[in-house]
Amino acid sequence: MNQKTSSLLRKTIFLLGALTIGWAAEAQTGTNPSTTNPSTTNPSTPSDSTHRQGMHHHRNFIHYTPEQRQQVAAINNDYRQKSADLYKKDDITLREYKSSLLALQKEKKTKMEALLTPKQKEEIATRRKRISENRQVMAAAHMERLKLRLNLSDDQVTKIKAGQESLRAQAKAIHENDNLLPQEKMEQMKSLMAKRNDTFKSVLTPEQYSQYEKMSQHRGGRFGHNHV
């Protein structure tokens, strides 16, 4: 396998992983990419799958003016073209490809944020604050259920809360790190989820942990997974 083929193969493998969660890069802007006309996209370009996933995930997140919608479409088209051109380069290393792709994502994010009016930015901040408050309420209620069902001691509750606070801070740092590609963020988040489970396992007694696992399985494996 020559160097050019090897480089392209490594880029392809790396990009396929990133495409599955490409919407995460969009999420950091707090904007709605759904305004781009899907009929204008080329399904053979690597960034289209990313765009379509972002469309579904952030629909109705923010209301754009007609002029802003045109600008968003132009920014998305420019990003897709540049990322497609980058993808075709066979004479760059994976490190160079990643660095260039990150630069394109940062450029797109900056342009998207520049479109927002002060009122729209305030609406986004208000929405994020409300989501954060709702999560805190849900986390508190979840902890009360755990305390009752597992008969947790005050010391166990304190340790679990401390562990969850630490994991939430780490998750926030990962989400806001613009030097990570979506695939890398997903891998780091998976690692965090494993740490969350280890925290419960180290704090709970064997009997409590067994009951915790049963509760988690009963809820489709989601018990406690949405509060990090």
Tens digits of residue pLDDT in 159-173 = 999 998 999 899 999
| 218's tokens | 């009963």
Q: How far is CA 39 from CA 42, 63, 80, 166, 188, in A?
A: 8, 21, 14, 44, 34
pLDDT in tens, 26-61: 443 444 444 334 333 343 444 444 444 333 334 346
| 87, burial (CB in 10 Å: exposed 0-12, middle 13-18, buried 19+) | middle
Output the six-digit token pair for 109.
């994010």
Q: How many CB atoms lie under 10 A from the CB of residue 151?
A: 12
Summarize pLDDT for 97-141 with one digit per residue, the tens.
Answer: 889 999 999 999 999 999 999 999 999 999 989 998 998 899 899
What letters, b where the CB count within 10 A reaches 16 and e where it falls short, cover 127-137?
eeeeeeeeeee
Encode pLDDT of 86-99 as tens digits.
988 888 888 898 89
